[in-house]
């Protein structure tokens, strides 16, 4: 990409698309008219596990973003983060519903979200780390939205029509999430000495968790190396525009897709599930 403006570069593939949550669009049923039968030749357990993992990424990320409510630096940012979290919650609902439908165990989205222990979650570990300061949350959102956008862009052509439809809806949302995070990264990176230092610390802290993203994504027409190239190119662009260096650093061992989580996930899941566990038979 060769642009004078980082935002132009980030939005070059979405320049004619005005569907963002901020404008109140995108509320139509993304699965309307989509055949929900699993196509022949698709491994059902593999598809269920893949949807579950992507749903867990979104659910855990949404819960972390919800923790900024009443704590964000400004009311406008609190609203923005809450709405990004709602986008991700919507993705989680669709993906967990598909996982439950495909696995055939009778578990719906609520059962998968509220009645699994933390050890059964399959989200990437970057999503579960504590929010830290605003700089860390910006860096994490930038990395995860850049990766998820690249991934969903490829999944729009996958063999499962439901997963393809979910991905197609998510692309527009994730393009905005990435733009929002990139704007803050550039603003803070080029701001005061303190904001610059905080952004650099945040980038250094997030870097060891990035490799896990590419190890977690292969399947259904997605090739990890081509996605990595796209993600790393975008991150280099934003990092350079922000006056930062990196990301770099040794990768962490293990992975959330295998159930190897940090100590931070269990308290987060307990917070997420507390009402449902206290009232398991309640209905709206």
Please name which of 131, 233, 231, 144 lies closest in space to residue 181, comparing C-alpha atoms.
Answer: 144
pLDDT for position 105: 86
CA 151/CA 233 separation, integer angstroms: 14
> What tokens does 51 get?
């949807």
Residue 63 domain flag: yes
Q: How many CB atoms lie within 10 A of CB 115?
A: 13
Residue 201 domain flag: yes
Q: Judge contact between 195 and 135, C-beta under 8 A.
A: yes
pLDDT for position 251: 67
Residue 261 domain flag: yes
How many folded domains does the chain comprise?
Answer: 1
SS3 of the chain: helix, strand, coil, percent, to 5: 65, 0, 35
> What tokens does 94 get?
């669709």
Please enumerate in sequence order all residues whose Cβ is within 8 A of that of 219, keeping only pairs 6 or more positions apart, or say none.
46, 50
pLDDT for position 236: 94
Residue 26 domain flag: no
Residue 209 domain flag: yes
- Cα 168 versus chain centre, distance: 15
Please name which of 109, 95, 93 lies closest in space to residue 53, comparing C-alpha atoms.
Answer: 95
Please enumerate in sequence order all residues whose Cβ is within 8 A of that of 22, keeping only pairs 6 or more positions apart, or say none.
80, 83, 176
pLDDT digit string (tens) for the chain, length 284 residues: 444 554 455 555 444 444 443 334 455 677 778 888 999 989 999 999 999 999 999 999 999 999 999 888 888 899 999 999 999 999 999 999 999 999 988 899 999 999 999 999 999 999 999 999 999 999 999 999 999 999 999 999 999 999 999 999 999 999 999 999 999 999 999 999 999 999 999 999 999 999 999 876 556 767 777 889 999 999 999 999 999 998 665 666 668 998 999 999 999 999 999 999 999 988 76
Q: What pTM was estimated for this model as a whole? A: 0.88
Residue 53 domain flag: yes
Residue 19 domain flag: no
pLDDT for position 247: 66
pLDDT for position 20: 40
The CATH number for 274's domain is 1.20.1260.10
pLDDT in tens, 30-71: 777 888 899 998 999 999 999 999 999 999 999 999 999 988
DSSP structural state of residue 250: P
Residue 13 domain flag: no
Strands (E), 224-270: none
CA 148/CA 195 separation, integer angstroms: 26
Q: What residue numbers bound the domain in which 45 lies? A: 40-278
């Amino acid at each position: 990409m060769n642009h004078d403006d980082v935002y132009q570069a980030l939005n070059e593939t979405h320049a004619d698309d005005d569907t963002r949550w901020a404008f109140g669009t995108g509320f139509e049923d993304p699965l309307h008219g989509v055949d929900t039968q699993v196509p022949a030749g698709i491994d059902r357990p593999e598809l269920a596990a893949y949807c579950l993992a992507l749903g867990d990424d979104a659910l855990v990320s949404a819960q972390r973003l919800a923790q900024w409510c009443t704590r964000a630096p400004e009311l406008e940012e609190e609203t923005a983060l809450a709405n990004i979290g709602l986008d991700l919650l919507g993705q989680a609902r669709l993906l967990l519903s598909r996982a439950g439908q495909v696995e055939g165990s009778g578990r719906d989205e609520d059962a998968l979200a509220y009645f699994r222990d933390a050890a059964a979650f399959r989200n990437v570990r970057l999503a579960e780390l504590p929010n830290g300061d605003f700089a860390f949350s910006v860096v994490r959102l930038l990395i995860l939205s850049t990766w998820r956008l690249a991934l969903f862009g490829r999944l729009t052509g996958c063999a499962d029509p439901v997963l393809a439809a979910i991905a197609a809806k998510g692309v527009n949302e994730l393009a905005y999430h990435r733009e929002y995070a990139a704007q803050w990264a550039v603003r803070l990176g080029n701001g005061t000495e303190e904001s610059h230092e905080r952004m650099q610390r945040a980038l250094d802290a997030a870097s060891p968790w990035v490799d896990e993203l590419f190890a977690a994504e292969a399947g259904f027409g997605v090739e990890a190396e081509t996605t990595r190239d796209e993600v790393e190119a975008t991150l280099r662009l934003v990092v350079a525009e922000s006056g930062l260096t990196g990301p770099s650093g040794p990768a962490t061992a293990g992975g959330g897709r295998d159930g190897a989580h940090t100590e931070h996930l269990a308290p987060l899941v307990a917070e997420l599930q507390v009402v449902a566990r206290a009232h398991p038979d309640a209905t709206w």
